[in-house]
Amino acid sequence: MEQNEALNGQGAANLHTDQNEPQNNQSMETLLQESSGVELPQAGEIRRGMIASIGPNQILVSIGAKSEGVIAGRELESLSAEERAALQVGQEVPVYVINAEDENGNVVLSFKRAQEQMTWENVERMLSEEEVIESKITGFNKGGLIVAVGGLRGFVPASQISMARRAVAVGETPEQRWGKMVGEPISVRIVEVDRERRRLILSERAANAESRQSIKERVISELEIGKTYTGRVTSLAEFGAFVNVNGADGLVHLSEISWEHVQHPSEVLEVGQEVKVRVINIDREKKRIGLSIRQLQEDPWQSKVEKFSVGQLVEGVITRLTKFGAFARLEGDLEGLIHISEISDHRIEHPKEVLHDGDVKTLRIIRIDTDQHRIGLSLRKVDSGAFADKDFKLLMNEGKEDAAPPETPQK
């Protein structure tokens, strides 16, 4: 009887386990489904989070990823006593994701980096909107004045200081010329932003120019989309260059400067340079002018791709592999993409299962997008019957050229 009770007990235990197991699986699946909708943190992004706890060695911040990020180490030490005292549990703060997952599985955050990044984004906005900034002179050097702009130090070169202020700047040394101006209010406009070099150039003269807004309204009413004008570069930023056309500034976005890849406008342009520009859009409500320099230049890609056509077989060198496909360099240094679905007839998880950097392959062109400058290639369609007729005609044409007799010289 004791044995039966033991067996019954074991059966009950097994039954209990079997009943719980699907429930555990169910809860795990539910958790995975819920977590799949969460946008996980990425290194380099700024998030708004809620301070969960403040300790002597770390601050935990909830960033909405069902986990908490940590501010610790040097980042925590860099906060002043006043900054730490201002932080409270439950307070919402911007944080910069330094590492989405460190060796301990923590999301590493930075409060300082977030503030700095947001400040640079703000001054870039001020530049694009041509905002006039009211501030104070905080210092000087031999070249001009130092002005505070949202926690950054901006520089006003002597040439950009107003005539009225320069008229009273007398003396042989910078101290004599500019020293007495420290603490004075000043109106400035941002004319150049270079975040990488931490360069912020300001102009008092531009801020004091006569009714810039009314001038811009007049110019916008006169400009025509598609027409070409001569302008002068007035300022440079990471996202493009501003060019003054007939008295109003328009933006040449980085992508509209050149057909070649440009990382910063300073690679091809400089302030004061005269350039030809085409008006590509006008936002009359926001009073913004979009300009292009590259549209006045011949597109080298178009001339290189003229010799190719959809369905053509070409030789390509594999240059790089990604999880979504492989890139191949064709004749004329053109690059095309072999999507992972066009590499093999059977399913593969990654192009490296079939291809390697440096491989020379015969490929078929399946798409040419002239607007986006993209060429679609296929490895699996090289022997496709859908292109048999085209291949046969090409082969016949090549045979005729090879069989053609040499021309007989005329007597």
Per-domain residue ranges of the chain: 46-116, 130-207, 225-296, 304-397
304-397 has the same fold as 130-207: yes
To the nearest whole number, what is the mean pLDDT of the chain? 81
Taking only the tens place, the pLDDT of each residue in 283-314 is: 988 888 999 999 998 888 887 888 888 888 99
- Strand duo 107-110 + 68-72: pairing: parallel
- Cα R_g (the chain), whole angstroms: 32
- How much is the pLDDT for 36? 42
- Give the closest residue to 111 by CA, choosing from 90, 128, 87, 85: 87
Which homologous superfamily is 130-207 in? Nucleic acid-binding proteins (2.40.50.140)
Of residues 276 and 246, more confidence is placed in 276
- Distances from the Cα of 225 to the Cαs of 213, 252, 254, 278, in angstroms? 20, 14, 19, 8
| Cα–Cα separations (whole angstroms), residue 14 to 25, 26, 101 | 17, 19, 39
Q: How confident is the model at residue 66 (pLDDT cuts 50, 70, 90)?
A: low
Those residues whose C-beta lies under 8 Å from the C-beta of residue 51, and which sit 6 or more positions away, are 59, 60, 61, 62, 87, 88, 89, 90, 91, 92, 93
In this predicted structure, the answer to whether residue 252 has a pLDDT above a threshold of 90 is yes
How high is the pLDDT of residue 363?
A: 92
CA distance 78 to 260: 41
What pLDDT is recorded for position 333? 81
Q: For the ranges 277-281, 364-368, 401-405, which has the lowest average pLDDT?
A: 401-405
Assigned architecture for domain 304-397 = Beta Barrel (2.40)
* pLDDT for the residue 113: 86
Find out if CATH 2.40.40.20 is the number for domain 46-116: no
Tell me, which fold does domain 225-296 have in CATH?
A: OB fold (Dihydrolipoamide Acetyltransferase, E2P) (2.40.50)
Q: Angle at the Cα of 249 (from 248 to 250), degrees rounded to 5?
A: 120
User: For the residues 232-241, what does the mean pLDDT come to?
Assistant: 89
Reported confidence tier of residue 168, pLDDT bands at 50, 70, 90: confident
Q: Tell me the pLDDT band of 358, cut-offs 50, 70 and 90.
A: very high
pLDDT value of position 6: 41
Q: Degrees (nearest 5) of the Cα angle 47, 52, 54?
A: 110
Per-residue pLDDT of 389-408, as tens digits, reads 665 566 666 555 554 555 54
Token output for 318: 């594999």
Please give the pLDDT value at position 151: 79
Confidence of residue 32 (pLDDT cuts 50, 70, 90): very low
In this structure, are residues 228 and 276 in contact, taking their beta carbons and an 8 Å threshold?
yes
Whether pLDDT at 23 is above 50: no
What does the block give as tokens for 199?
């360069």
Question: What percent of the chain is modeled with pLDDT above 70?
Answer: 81
Question: What pLDDT is stored for residue 405 in this prediction?
Answer: 53
